[in-house]
Structure 1
């Protein structure tokens, strides 16, 4: 696309230099928009995904859900532990029994993660899983081993000294709250939340597929405002500046145009050579500069549409 734009401008230069006419615009190019690729922030199956190409979405809108069963259960477990802290400080006997039950649960979960790691290692060897998935499981196992060690230490302290054990339990509240916040964030990231208002340009995923962190789900762009990326010659460059109001127009029927007010928002600080398809050495030596003109869209402008810019339009 870039070379087509420069090529069109080069034909303008060539036509002028050959004395065969002069076009009635100062720059031409194609309309662009700021595009955002929305990616998954959690691993798991896509349980729901309502995005369709052409949909108009608002910022903050929930458009999908990724399975977060495991972090949800972990969040509930930590919350239950926090709720039980106060009760566990009253009597060391029931407190010890409660911690022991928690220890059994943690040991069972750890064993399950050991089996999951073995399965994932085999999948990695057969290229059916990624190294990132295996690293996540290893990190989870390391965290669970630390939690298991802390629980065993808690039981030992309770058996030796009730007062000391009570203080230890209360001091664990801060770490448990951090774990709770961590799991809550994982659950939150299971939601696919649209970041900007705009129109969906492409969809890359479907309901039922497996999502991975960083996997693109869809592409969206705000088409309320578009940018005409055009190219001007070195001779035209001194006539323009940032913030300058110009006229942008598009074709509207045979020999008719539809005009829009525009504002120059960017001027490249580097020049570019016209393409080598221009055969004469003199024309290949000409330089052009890329610019962007912001235009308010009335729904008629489309991404990729051809447009022209006029610095001083004739009335």
Structure 2
């Protein structure tokens, strides 16, 4: 007799739980997080990687460093090359100044010969020779200026290469892209990394997304920005109520995931919906949750 009473009591609790869930919940799902996987952008050895799973990081804080030796040496080489070109440009500028002075001296002679020619004290050949010298000096100045332009373009190329190396040097410094908690760490200090190789995963756990699935019939009763009641298990007979906001509704239907049971069990196609829920620390990734769209019930 005692066993019969215990069985009846247990069955009653199960029925109450089922009735509670069926009455209160419009959709079901699991909590997930918008995580960011930080990958290496350069090749080299991890000289520093001061990071552990569970660490709280702020945006921009440096957590690691990839060896910069080769990039630094390349930058030094480019800087030396730039200095050499600048020295040539300074030399060319001096050449132009010298040629201009020589031309100015010939111009003085030209003016003198012109006066003498007017007095029949000089010949036309003398004037022609001076004009020829002036033409030569003009061509020399043009030629040297062309060399200066060419060197200026070389400096532009070197500057671009230096900027590229500096960009690579900056990428050697591994920083947190967002403020959040380190969920996973994939590399250790001293290991070699390559571009695209994952280093660690970080996420902002101040809020989680409850991904639920609804039927087409329910789709017309929800909208983006709508506030809903989120239920998480508190005990076998009670739930903790939280407030969430619908932030994403799938535009395409999909087959019901095997781990999800919707309110209408015979529905074959469902729509995924994300509900953003503030996290006070009680929510965990993967935790099941339920949603009520009509908070007045």
TM category, shorter? 0.5 to 0.7
**Alignment partner, residue 161 of structure 2:** 179
2:59 is equivalent to residue 59 of structure 1: yes
Q: Provide the aligned C-alpha RMSD in A.
A: 3.0
Deviations along 1:107-151, one digit per CA (max 9) or x if unpaired, are xxxxxxxxxxxxxxxxxxxxxxxxxxxxxxxxxxxxxxxxxxxxx
From 250, 261, 268, the counterpart of 2:250: 268
2:247 is equivalent to residue 247 of structure 1: no
Q: Which is greater in Rg?
A: 2
From 230, 233, 240, the counterpart of 1:258: 240
Aligned length: 227
TM-score scaled by length of structure 2: 0.67
Structure 2 CA distance for partners of 1:58 and 1:263, relative to 1, 3 Å: same
Q: 3-state SS of the aligned residue for 2:24? A: coil
**Alignment partner, residue 33 of structure 1:** 33
Q: CA deviation at 1:283?
A: 5.2
**Alignment partner, residue 108 of structure 2:** none
**Alignment partner, residue 43 of structure 2:** 43
TM-score scaled by length of structure 1: 0.64
Q: 3-state SS of the aligned residue for 1:239? A: coil
Structure 2 CA distance for partners of 1:255 and 1:170, relative to 1, 3 Å: same
Q: CA deviation at 1:272?
A: 3.4
Unaligned segments of structure 2, at least 5 residues = 1-14, 93-142
**Alignment partner, residue 300 of structure 1:** 282
Larger mean CA deviation between 199-208 and 166-175 belongs to 166-175
Larger mean CA deviation between 81-90 and 221-230 belongs to 81-90
- Tell me how far apart the structure 2 counterparts of residues 276 and 202 of structure 1 sit (CA, whole Å): 27
From 166, 169, 179, the counterpart of 1:197: 179
Structure 2 CA distance for partners of 1:288 and 1:167, relative to 1, 3 Å: closer
Structure 2 CA distance for partners of 1:172 and 1:284, relative to 1, 3 Å: same
Contact 1:275 1:284 in 2 (8 A): no
Contact 1:246 1:262 in 2 (8 A): yes
- Tell me how far apart the structure 1 counterparts of residues 258 and 183 of structure 2 sit (CA, whole Å): 33
- Tell me how far apart the structure 1 counterparts of residues 65 and 45 of structure 2 sit (CA, whole Å): 9
- Listed as ranges, the matches of 1:64-83 within 5 Å are 64-83=64-83
Structure 2 CA distance for partners of 1:198 and 1:70, relative to 1, 3 Å: same
**Alignment partner, residue 170 of structure 2:** 188
- Tell me how far apart the structure 2 counterparts of residues 314 and 300 of structure 1 sit (CA, whole Å): 25
Contact 2:215 2:267 in 1 (8 A): no
Deviations along 1:256-288, one digit per CA (max 9) or x if unpaired, are 32222111112222333446899xxx9555433
- Listed as ranges, the matches of 1:93-112 within 5 Å are none
Structure 2 CA distance for partners of 1:84 and 1:28, relative to 1, 3 Å: same
- Tell me how far apart the structure 2 counterparts of residues 88 and 197 of structure 1 sit (CA, whole Å): 50
Contact 2:63 2:175 in 1 (8 A): yes
